[in-house]
Structure 1
């Protein structure tokens, strides 16, 4: 990018954060400098909403797009928008996937809590928000409509199938009834409501701010970042990124453990210093 972006959208795990889930002091300083230079920052993550308050306290108060685009939060953790999965659509998807790939346990991410079937693995990713309130039940009961409870993401795991095989079967089973992606490297597939992606929520929000897609720089490392990386004016794959991301992004930066996002932010800030002003909204 030869001009300074007005908005930087960055994934968290494998991108902004080190592999141990920490935020380096260099990256923290780069985020602060970029904000002071008038560059708006947005964290765009697959992490669920239950992680948002801790993320904001720990890595900085910026807007967060969570659950692969299903929720948008202000820097004070106020909910701006959610795009839940319809209960009937998710419920109809479950038997289709089980017929195609037997032996699949499911989990459900709501706005503030987490539910899973008894056979679903007990995973924790990173160091933020790893102690959810858990509901353990059949996926049919977890998806049943309940007052004030919105399903933002449905997850499915297969204990033996390779991820690429499982993801393809899941994608075919979902068809047009859900967005299907993956982000962990494990045999774990994530479903969102149709049309809900990191890109869709990012562009809808930035448009309201008067920022065009061409004025956004985005960073990512996994397939759930692909819609965002394709949609913006400037895209960066981390050196540690998934092969599909490396093929898709138009730019590349150093790995997450080498503070690749910080390196790019520092360049953006230097451009502001020599007169290429970023106009913050």
Structure 2
């Protein structure tokens, strides 16, 4: 088997456990890998601040061979020289249709820019959601994902064009509601966009040209690493491109629940407990 020179790992649900922490075993394994000169590419659909836990637990910034992939591939950071490569997302003038879809289907929408996050939910949304969860006997805390603090509230489904490019849009509700709507939502989305179920309660809308796989391929070409020399780990639909971009792709978990990728069999599979 060819030597592995690069490991790419998603964060939430893969590298990080349910508590958002790095386990002791994962810490030992990846610290040793970094000391041995293996490149680690940390990948997330969120922005750079979400790497804080990884930076603290795995000392990622002191290893020059590492890279960060953020915003689902829109941002690549070379840890060695601190250089950033950015790819534009949705133009400001094209964001309103996504908010109007959220308004029509009683969903909460988050629009992420380089400088903040804009939130839109129709008047009375919280009560409508509560009634839906109660009607379907769903636990509120287990079926809603919020990002508290820092969000700029929009009174109408109109994005302020002066705020600039939007890297991604997220639709939030209960897992049942999003699964019911997913097929129809995919037919309603504007051209050039795609929907990815990141978690059962979190539907992410990104430009078709943006994905972790394309970003990882760019990193590998820059570093002279072939797909057979790389391994990737992920657990969400937005990790599929990353797993396919390498020879050794591993999906975490044993159940194909909404948002998970069926496990792909590859030779010499490492112990799942390592991640």
TM-score range, shorter chain: 0.7 to 0.9
Instruction: Determine which structure has greater relative contact order: mean sequence separation of CA pairs < 8 Å that are 6+ residues apart, divided by chain length.
Output: 1
The alpha-carbon deviation at position 260 of structure 1 amounts to 3.0
Aligned to 2:108: 105
The alpha-carbon deviation at position 106 of structure 1 amounts to 0.9
Contact map agreement 1:221 1:245 (CA 8 A) in 2: yes
Q: In the alignment, which of 193, 197, 209 is matched to residue 211 of structure 2? A: 197
Deviations 1:48-68 (A, max 9, x none): 334245643444324211122
Alpha-carbon distance in 1 for matches of 2:221, 2:9? 17
Aligned to 2:129: none
Aligned to 2:166: 151
The alpha-carbon deviation at position 83 of structure 1 amounts to 3.1
Aligned to 2:226: 212
Q: How many residues align?
A: 246
Contact map agreement 2:252 2:263 (CA 8 A) in 1: no
Alpha-carbon distance in 1 for matches of 2:223, 2:175? 45
Q: Structure 2 vs 1, CA of residues 189 and 49 (structure 1 numbering), >3 Å: closer, same or farther? A: same
Q: Structure 2 vs 1, CA of residues 136 and 55 (structure 1 numbering), >3 Å: closer, same or farther? A: farther
Q: Structure 2 vs 1, CA of residues 144 and 21 (structure 1 numbering), >3 Å: closer, same or farther? A: same
Please state which structure has a larger fraction of its residues in helix.
Answer: 1
Contact map agreement 1:50 1:112 (CA 8 A) in 2: no
CA RMSD for the aligned pairs? 2.9
Structure 2 spans left out of the alignment, 5+ residues: 61-65, 127-143
The alpha-carbon deviation at position 184 of structure 1 amounts to 1.6
Aligned to 2:77: 73
Q: Structure 2 vs 1, CA of residues 32 and 160 (structure 1 numbering), >3 Å: closer, same or farther? A: closer
Aligned to 2:179: 164
Alpha-carbon distance in 1 for matches of 2:167, 2:255? 25
The alpha-carbon deviation at position 253 of structure 1 amounts to 5.4
Q: In the alignment, which of 167, 174, 178 is matched to residue 189 of structure 2? A: 174
Aligned to 2:41: 42
Structure 1 spans left out of the alignment, 5+ residues: 125-130, 262-281
Contact map agreement 1:15 1:219 (CA 8 A) in 2: yes
Aligned to 1:5: 4
The alpha-carbon deviation at position 88 of structure 1 amounts to 2.6
